[in-house]
Amino acid sequence: MAPFKRGSASGAAKSGDPRRDAVSLVVAYVKQETIDPLRSLLRFVLFGVAGSIAVGLGALLLLLAGLRILQGETGTFHGNLSWVPYLIIAVISVLIIALCGWRIVSGPAARRIPAKKNTD
């Protein structure tokens, strides 16, 4: 059996060799069914990561702005109470994280988790 030479699909079709035609057909199919979906998935993941970073940075800046407003504009938290704005912003941050976690767990992903069957 002669080794297969790498060639284009149009060259294989002109040669009339059924083995080359089959190999080029399989190679084209594998590329179509693996590489193209992976490229689409990679693009989807990259946009998702970029969006997550942007939302996280925006939330961080909003929390920092809230901290600066509490420290500078209220005039209430001076002296022994200078730690209170940090506590308020920390509590708000924990509440936002808890809300996000709750929405992730109870969102569309919850429907994919099969119900546990009771073996009793």
Domain range list for the chain: 18-109
Half-sphere exposure of 117 (CA within 13 A, CB side): 1
Q: Is pLDDT above 50 for 106? A: yes
**Residue bearing the bigger pLDDT, 4 or 44:** 44
95, 101, 102, 105: CA torsion to nearest 10: 180
Sign of CA dihedral 93, 96, 98, 100: negative
Q: Which tens digits make up the pLDDT trace of 16-47?
A: 788 888 888 988 888 888 888 888 889 889 99
DSSP state of 100: H
The predicted-structure confidence for 75-86, as pLDDT tens digits, reads as follows 888 888 889 999
* 63 pLDDT above the threshold of 90: yes
Q: Report the predicted TM-score, pTM, of the whole model to 2 decimal places.
A: 0.60
CA distance 13 to 18: 9
